[in-house]
Amino acid sequence: MRYFIELSYRGTAYHGWQTQANGVSVQTTLEAALSQRLQHPVYITGSGRTDAGVHARQQFAHFDREEPLALTDQLVYSLNCILPDDIAIRTIFPVRADDHARFSAISRYYHYYITRQKNVFEPGLTYHFRPELDVAQMNEACRILMQHRDFKSFSKVRANVSHFRCLLDFAYWERDADDRLTFHIKANRFLWGMVRTIVGTMLEIGQGRMNLDQFSQLIEARDRTVAGRAAPANGLYLVEVGYPAEVLAQRILFR
pLDDT score for 178: 84
Contact 228, 153 (CB under 8 A): no
Q: Kindly tell me if the per-residue pLDDT of 207 is higher than 70.
A: yes
pLDDT reported for residue 158: 65
What's residue 77's pLDDT? 96
Is residue 151 domain-resident? Answer: yes
Q: For position 181, what pLDDT does the model report?
A: 96
**Is residue 115 located within the same domain as residue 133?**
yes
Cβ atoms of residues 116 and 153 within 8 Å: no
Q: Which of 69-83, 115-129, 208-222, 238-252 has the lowest mean pLDDT?
A: 115-129
Residue 1 has pLDDT above 80, yes or no: yes
Q: Where residue 100 falls among pLDDT bands split at 50, 70, 90?
A: very high
Give the Cα separation of 99 and 246 in Å (integer). 10
Establish whether 51 is a catalytic residue.
Answer: yes
Give the residue ranges of the annotated binding site for substrate: 110
- Range of weakest confidence among 107-116, 225-234, 240-249: 225-234
Instruction: Let me know if residue 220 belongs to a domain.
Output: yes
At 183, the pLDDT band (50, 70, 90 cuts) reads very high
What one-character-per-residue DSSP string does 87-131 give? EEEEEEEEE-TT--TTTT--EEEEEEEEESS--TTSTTTSEE--S
pLDDT at residue 109, as a whole number: 98
Looking at 13-17, 47-51, 63-67, 160-164, which range is the least confident one? 160-164
Q: What is the pLDDT of residue 22?
A: 84
The pLDDT tens digits for 104-131 are 999 999 999 999 988 888 888 999 999 9
111 and 86, same structural domain? no
Which residues are CB-contacts of 21 (< 8 A; sequence separation ≥ 6)? Answer: none
**pLDDT bucket at 159, cuts 50 / 70 / 90:** low
100 and 213 in a single domain? The answer is no
pLDDT greater at residue 60 or residue 124:
60
H helix or E strand, kind and range, residue 31: helix 26-38
- 225 and 181 belong to one structural domain: yes
Per-residue pLDDT, averaged over 194-206, amounts to 96
Statement to judge: residues 133 and 173 lie in one domain: yes
Q: Which of 104, 130, 152 is the last residue in one of the domains?
A: 104
Q: Count CB neighbours of 168 within 10 A.
A: 17
Are 176 and 93 in contact, with CB atoms under 8 Å apart?
no
Q: What is the pLDDT of residue 134?
A: 96
Considering the domain architecture, whether residues 70 and 84 belong to the same structural domain is answered as yes
* Shared-domain flag, residues 60 and 111: no
Residue 255 within any structural domain of the chain: no
One domain for residues 116 and 234 = yes
Same domain? For 93 and 111 the reply is no
Show the domain range for 19.
Answer: 2-104
Query: Is the pLDDT confidence value at 255 over 90?
Result: no
pLDDT attached to residue 94: 96
The CATH number for 73's domain is 3.30.70.580
Distances in Å between the alpha carbon of 93 and those of 99, 110, 225, 253?
A: 12, 24, 43, 9
> Are 86 and 125 part of one and the same domain?
no
Least confident among 16-30, 32-46, 115-129, 154-168: 154-168
Binding region: 110
| pLDDT value at residue 19 | 86
- Please name every residue paired with 194 in a beta bridge, in sequence order, or none if there are none: none
pLDDT for 162 equals 83
Contacts of 243 (CB under 8 A, 6+ apart): 60, 104, 105, 106
Given a cut of 80, whether residue 180 has pLDDT beyond it is yes
Of 51, 73, 85, 178, the catalytic one is: 51
